[in-house]
């Protein structure tokens, strides 16, 4: 079955950096588009970024452009989110999510990893 496991979260100071990883299993990873979605504590869902199956194309939310970078390593079935110049408002649970193909939706979600930006 589809399994997505995030890692790399933690506490970081404002202005700092962090790299999240998401290891995937149970499906042909190199054929699938992947996303990151975040959720601030007690708040709703916010789409962050998307990467094509071959890493050629990426899309970002406006707040992510220039600071957050999505990438992937198909040989390691892993998708990454490099987070730079972090702000307190980036504090959230970050979910790794698989794209649901031609349905332009999100079908399988990881358990999420907490990132806390605090001094």
Partner 1 sequence: DIVMTQTPLSSPVTLGQPASISCRSSQSLVSSDGNTYLSWLHQRPGQPPRLLIYKVSNRFSGVPDRFSGSGAGTDFTLKISRVEAEDVGVYYCMQGTQFPWTFGQGTKVDIK
Residue 41 engages partner 1 in binding (rule: CB under 8 A): no
Q: Which of 1, 41, 44, 75 binds partner 1 (CB under 8 A)?
A: 44
The answer to whether the beta carbons of residues 37 and 91 sit under 8 Å apart is: no
φ/ψ of 28, rounded to 5, equals: -75, 85
Hey, which residues between 54 and 113 contact partner 1 (CB under 8 A)? 59-62, 95, 100, 103-107, 109-112
Residue 38 engages partner 1 in binding (rule: CB under 8 A): no
Q: Which is nearer to partner 1, 15 or 39 (CB)?
A: 39
Q: Which of 21, 27, 30, 46 binds partner 1 (CB under 8 A)?
A: 46
Q: Which is nearer to partner 1, 84 or 111 (CB)?
A: 111
Residues that bind partner 1 (CB under 8 A): 44-47, 50, 59-62, 95, 100, 103-107, 109-112
């Amino acid at each position: 079955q589809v399994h997505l496991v995030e890692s790399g979260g933690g506490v970081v100071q404002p202005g700092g950096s962090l790299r999240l990883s998401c290891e995937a299993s149970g499906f042909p990873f190199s054929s699938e588009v992947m996303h990151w979605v975040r959720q601030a504590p007690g708040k709703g869902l916010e789409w962050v970024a998307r990467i094509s199956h071959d890493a050629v194309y990426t899309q970002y939310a406006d707040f992510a452009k220039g600071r957050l970078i999505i990438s992937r390593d198909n040989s390691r079935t892993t998708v990454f989110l490099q987070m730079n110049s972090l702000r307190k408002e980036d504090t959230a649970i970050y979910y790794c999510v698989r794209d649901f193909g031609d349905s332009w939706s999100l079908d399988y979600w990881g358990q999420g990893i907490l990132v806390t930006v605090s001094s």
